């Protein structure tokens, strides 16, 4: 194999694939990136056996072939080469080292046979459809913060992507839901062509993180292929394949309250900043922040046995009976950070019932938050 490629092209592709490679691996080949050259393209592949990223870039292929070498090491070398450098990658066709040359810089990298590199096949897709990158990004960003990190409830360790009926007009929607048992985030988009009848799938947290990072660089349509066990995202010349979580997502609609009739409207930035300031006094023994609502005044307070107390009042719109309710301040900040509107709308019932938080600029998003004792 002998390839010449511009440094920035190679660096961009390596930055996409090497991030899925774990820093510590008991299986040595999983620390490597698969490099294959053929038909004017250089293809890079990395995997951790649950996720696979493949990217193809144009290159001057003098002779085809392939090998594998340490992904992070190769990335670091290319990253430190000068901008615009022409990089030559070459092997002698055996399992010998990979030669990398750019100008006066020369490196010899240890390799492992390409035949030992594992393949994560996507399986035969049952459904294929496309979503605008900005809409997929919205679905991901509106929900990913609520993914559980509790490994014992592995079925909550991802985003539940499925077909559902809109509560507004009963039309079919592609809905994304994530929950950790304390909060729930839901976002939806009109069901795209080809997605009708799709199975509900749980896209794992690591794949969601990679997807969120990759979407930022794409503004076109993203192809999605679903099979019974895997999901494939096609982003231009890049393909992200992931094993789906094999489990049953809980009936989340049962925890979404429908009888909350006390509406609280607050200026989002004012509320968010007040929560942030008051929660400074929160400690491990007193994690809840208390919201006391009475007329046009919302009083936020924390009483910490170790640190002291803090209170702050803000003006709100509220026409129901006075109410006191407590929440984890970090969860309040996470949710309000997702809102696009200048106002946040809270629908409440009583001190022991979950609340709904909505964004007036994004009616397709909904957030549920469980209260805490105060």
Write the DSSP assignment of 136-150 as a string of letters. HHHHHHHHGGG----
> 58-105 pLDDT, tens per residue?
999 999 999 999 999 999 999 999 999 999 999 987 788 999 999 999
pLDDT band at 216 (very low <50, low <70, confident <90, very high): confident
Phi, psi (deg, nearest 5) at residue 207: -65, -40
- How far is the C-alpha of 34 from the C-alpha of 177, rounded, in Å? 34
Per-residue model confidence as pLDDT tens digits over 54-68: 999 999 999 999 999
Average pLDDT, integer, range 258-266: 94
Compute the mean pLDDT over every residue in the chain, rounded to the nearest whole number: 93
Q: What is the mean pLDDT of residues 218-225?
A: 88
Q: Which of 128-142, 195-209, 253-267, 295-309 has the lowest mean pLDDT?
A: 295-309
Judge whether residue 122 has pLDDT over 70: no
The average pLDDT across 262-291 equals 89
Query: Which of these, 280, 257, 265, lies nearest to 333 by C-alpha position?
Result: 280
* CATH number given to 127-254: 3.10.150.10
Distances (CA, A) of 23 to 28, 112, 123, 285: 11, 17, 28, 36
CA distance 252 to 151: 19
* Over residues 262-268, mean pLDDT: 95
pLDDT of residue 284: 65
The answer to whether residue 355 scores a pLDDT higher than 80 is yes
- Rounded CA-CA distance 93/66 in Å is 8
Per-residue model confidence (pLDDT) at position 285: 55
Provide the percentage of residues in the chain whose pLDDT is more than 90: 84
For the chain, the domains span 2-116, 127-254, 257-369
Q: How far is Cα 104 from Cα 22, in angstroms, rounded to an integer?
A: 31
- Same-fold call for 127-254 versus 257-369: yes
**What's the topology of domain 257-369?**
DNA Polymerase III; Chain A, domain 2 (3.10.150)
Q: CA-to-CA distance for 364 and 338, rounded, in angstroms?
A: 13
**Distance (Å, whole) CA 346 – CA 251:** 23
Q: How far apart are CA 276 and CA 373, in angstroms?
A: 19
Given this model, what pLDDT does residue 24 score? 86
Assigned CATH for 2-116: 3.10.150.10
Q: Residues 134-148: pLDDT tens digits?
A: 999 999 999 999 999
């Amino acid at each position: 194999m002998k390839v010449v490629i511009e440094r920035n092209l190679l660096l961009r592709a390596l930055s996409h694939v090497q991030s899925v490679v774990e820093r510590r691996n008991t299986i040595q080949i999983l620390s490597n990136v698969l490099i294959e050259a053929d038909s004017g393209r250089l293809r890079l592949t990395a995997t951790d056996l649950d996720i696979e990223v493949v990217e193809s870039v144009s290159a001057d292929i003098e002779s085809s072939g392939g090998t594998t070498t340490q992904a992070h090491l190769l990335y670091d070398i290319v990253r430190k080469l000068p901008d615009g450098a022409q990089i030559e990658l070459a092997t002698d066709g055996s399992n010998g080292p990979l030669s990398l040359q750019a100008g006066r810089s020369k490196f010899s990298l240890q390799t492992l046979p390409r035949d030992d590199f594992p393949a994560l096949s996507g399986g035969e897709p049952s459904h294929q459809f496309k979503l605008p990158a900005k809409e997929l990004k919205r679905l991901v960003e509106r929900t990913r913060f609520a993914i559980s990190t509790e490994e014992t409830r592995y079925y909550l360790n991802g985003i539940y992507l499925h077909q559902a009926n809109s509560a507004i007009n009963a039309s079919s929607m592609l809905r994304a839901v994530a929950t950790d048992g304390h909060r729930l985030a839901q976002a939806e988009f009109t069901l795209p062509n080809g997605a009708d009848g799709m199975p509900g799938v749980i896209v794992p947290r690591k794949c969601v993180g990679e997807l969120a990072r990759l979407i930022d660089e794409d503004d076109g349509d993203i192809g999605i292929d679903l099979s019974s066990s895997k999901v494939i995202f096609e982003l231009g010349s890049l393909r992200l394949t992931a094993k789906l979580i094999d489990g049953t997502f809980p009936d989340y609609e049962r925890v979404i309250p429908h009888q909350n009739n006390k509406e609280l409207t607050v200026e989002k930035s004012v509320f968010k900043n007040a929560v942030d300031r008051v929660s400074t006094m929160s400690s491990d023994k007193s994690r809840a922040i208390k919201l006391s609502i009475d007329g046009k005044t919302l009083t936020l307070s924390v009483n910490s046995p170790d640190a002291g107390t803090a209170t702050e009042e803000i003006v709100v719109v509220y026409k129901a009976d006075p109410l006191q309710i407590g929440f984890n301040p970090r969860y309040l900040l996470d949710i309000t950070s997702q809102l696009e509107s200048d106002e946040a709308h809270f629908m409440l019932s009583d001190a022991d019932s979950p609340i709904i938080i909505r964004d007036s600029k994004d009616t397709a998003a909904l957030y549920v938050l469980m209260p805490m004792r105060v």
